[in-house]
Amino acid sequence: MRSIKSIPIPARTTVELKADGYHVMLLQTRQKLVEGAQLACSVTFQNGGVVETEVQVRSLP
Ligand SMILES: [Cu+2]
Mean pLDDT calculated for residue range 7-13 = 93
**Residue 6: partners with Cβ closer than 8 Å, 6 or more residues away:** 46
Share of the chain above pLDDT 70, in %: 98
49 CA → ligand 1 middle, Å:
24
The CA dihedral of 49, 53, 57, 61, to the nearest 10 degrees, is -70
Residue list, CB under 5 A from ion ligand 1: 1, 25
Residues 55-58: contacts with CB within 8 Å, 24+ apart?
55/24, 57/33, 58/19
pLDDT in tens, 18-39: 989 999 888 899 999 999 999 9
Residue 27 C-alpha to ligand 1 middle, in angstroms? Answer: 9
pLDDT value of position 28: 92
Q: What's the 60 CA to ligand 1 centre distance in angstroms?
A: 9
Q: What is the pLDDT of residue 6?
A: 93
